[in-house]
C-alpha cells in the first residue's frame, strides 16, 4: 500500500446560471495515488454541477520545508480568512 500523500487540487466546474465562465476551487486532499486524489477532490466540490480537475500537485515540500502527515482524526473544518488585500 502506498504512503498517503497530501495533494493540492484545482477544480473547475460548470458555470453557475447567469455566468459566462466556469467556477473554480482549490481543495486539499490526502490520498494514496493521483487517481484516488482526483476522486476525493471532486467530492469536496461545492460549486454548481459536476467538477473536473484542472490541475493536481502532490505537496511534499513547501518553501524548503518537508511536509509529513500524521493521522489525528480531527475535523478539517477550519475557518477561512477571505480578507481581500490588493
Element (H, E) at 24: strand 23-31
pLDDT digits (tens, 9 = 90+) for 67-79: 999 999 888 777 7
Whole-angstrom Cα distance, residue 45 to residue 41? 7
pLDDT digits (tens, 9 = 90+) for 16-69: 888 888 899 999 999 999 999 999 999 999 888 899 999 999 999 999 999 999
8 and 28 Cβ atoms separated by less than 8 Å: yes
Domains in the chain, CATH or no CATH each:
5-66 (3.10.20)
Amino acid at each position: 500500500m502506498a504512503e498517503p500523500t497530501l495533494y493540492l487540487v484545482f477544480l473547475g466546474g460548470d458555470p453557475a446560471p447567469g455566468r459566462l465562465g466556469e467556477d473554480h476551487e482549490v481543495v486539499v486532499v490526502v490520498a494514496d495515488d493521483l487517481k484516488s486524489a482526483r476522486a476525493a477532490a471532486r467530492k469536496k466540490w461545492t460549486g454548481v454541477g459536476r467538477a473536473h480537475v484542472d490541475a493536481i500537485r502532490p505537496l511534499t515540500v513547501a518553501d524548503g520545508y518537508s511536509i509529513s502527515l500524521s493521522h489525528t482524526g480531527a475535523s478539517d473544518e477550519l475557518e477561512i480568512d477571505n480578507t481581500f488585500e490588493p
